[in-house]
């Protein structure tokens, strides 16, 4: 995480110089030795689960409204959220679809705009544990996008849902075109992720007692 923030700071300091090409997020999995054929991009998952494109006019308004109420994401002013919208893809997904699967490699994160998604983890001893049922505004899958690791849990739509997806290519584009925005987003994602991991850790510890 420090490496990501350091790179973003260096890019932000060069805003008046010739822009640099970035492939930081798109090449991160390869840098970890992950075979490209194992990577599941959002476009492939969307096609597999029958997701339909959602107009940016609707998706953007939902994202703005939800993040304005979020204790962390509200630190992004309305102008910043509007600038973010162009990097997202918006989609509607039917119920009972796996938008993220445990132990796969995926280079995208999702924001739940409407509906409910179950977050489940299959334990090493075979037990299926429900970690959470998310609500609109919650973010899913950002850990793998940030650290190029495998998915910790599976995320399944319990109802028809509307989602915003941000992939690695869009993150790299944001780093090049709006590095200050990218730095703010990564910092806020890290805080939200830390909070969620603390809750999940406590839940797993309680379950094992």
3-state secondary structure 145-158: HHHCCCCCCEEEEC
At residue 86, the 3 state secondary structure works out as coil
CB atoms within 10 A of CB 5: 13
**Structure letter (DSSP) for residue 107:** -
Q: What per-residue string of b and e applies to 47-82 under the rule 16 or more CB within 10 Å gives b?
A: eebebeebeeeebbebbeebbeebebbeebeeebbe
What's the Cα-to-Cα distance from 40 to each of 14, 31, 89, 164, 207, rounded to whole Å?
33, 16, 16, 17, 31
* SS3 call for 177: helix
Global pTM? 0.84
207 vs 128: CA distance, rounded Å: 12
Q: What is the pLDDT of residue 146?
A: 86
Quote the pLDDT of residue 95.
98
2-10+36-208: CATH topology: Jelly Rolls (2.60.120)
- Per the CB < 8 A criterion, the answer to whether 116 and 135 are in contact is yes
Q: What is the pLDDT of residue 19?
A: 46
Phi, psi of 119 (to 5 degrees): -115, 115
Render each residue's pLDDT in the chain as its tens digit; 209 residues. Answer: 444 444 445 545 444 444 445 568 888 888 888 888 889 999 999 999 999 999 999 999 999 999 999 888 999 999 999 999 999 999 999 999 999 999 999 999 999 999 999 999 999 998 999 999 999 999 999 988 888 889 999 999 999 999 999 999 999 999 999 999 999 999 988 888 878 777 767 766 665 65
pLDDT score at 204: 65
Q: Dig out the tokens for 140 from the structure.
A: 């899913």
Pairing mode, if any, of strands 139-140 and 98-100? unpaired
Residue 123 token pair = 């334990």
Element (H, E) at 58: helix 56-68
Q: What pLDDT, on a 0 to 100 scale, did the predictor assign at position 30?
A: 86
| CA 163 – CA 99 distance, rounded (Å) | 10
Per the CB < 8 A criterion, the answer to whether 40 and 105 are in contact is yes
């Amino acid at each position: 995480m420090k490496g990501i923030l350091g790179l973003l700071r260096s890019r932000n300091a060069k805003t008046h110089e010739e822009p640099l090409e970035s492939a930081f997020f798109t090449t991160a999995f390869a840098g970890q030795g992950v075979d490209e054929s194992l990577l599941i991009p959002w476009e492939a998952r969307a096609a597999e689960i029958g997701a339909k494109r959602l107009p940016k006019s609707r998706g953007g308004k939902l994202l703005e409204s939800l993040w304005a109420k979020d204790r962390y994401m509200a630190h992004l002013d309305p102008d910043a959220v509007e600038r973010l919208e162009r990097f997202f893809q918006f989609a509607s997904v039917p119920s009972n679809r796996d938008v993220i699967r445990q132990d796969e490699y995926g280079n995208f994160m999702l924001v739940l705009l409407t509906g409910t998604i179950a977050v489940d983890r299959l334990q090493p001893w075979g037990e299926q544990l429900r970690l959470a049922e998310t609500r609109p505004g919650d973010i899913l899958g950002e850990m793998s996008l940030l650290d190029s690791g495998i998915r910790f849990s599976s995320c399944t739509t319990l109802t028809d849902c509307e989602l915003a997806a941000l992939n690695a290519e869009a993150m790299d584009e944001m780093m090049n075109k709006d590095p200050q925005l990218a730095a703010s987003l990564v910092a806020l994602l890290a805080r939200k992720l830390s909070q969620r991991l603390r809750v999940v850790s406590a839940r797993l510890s309680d379950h094992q007692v």
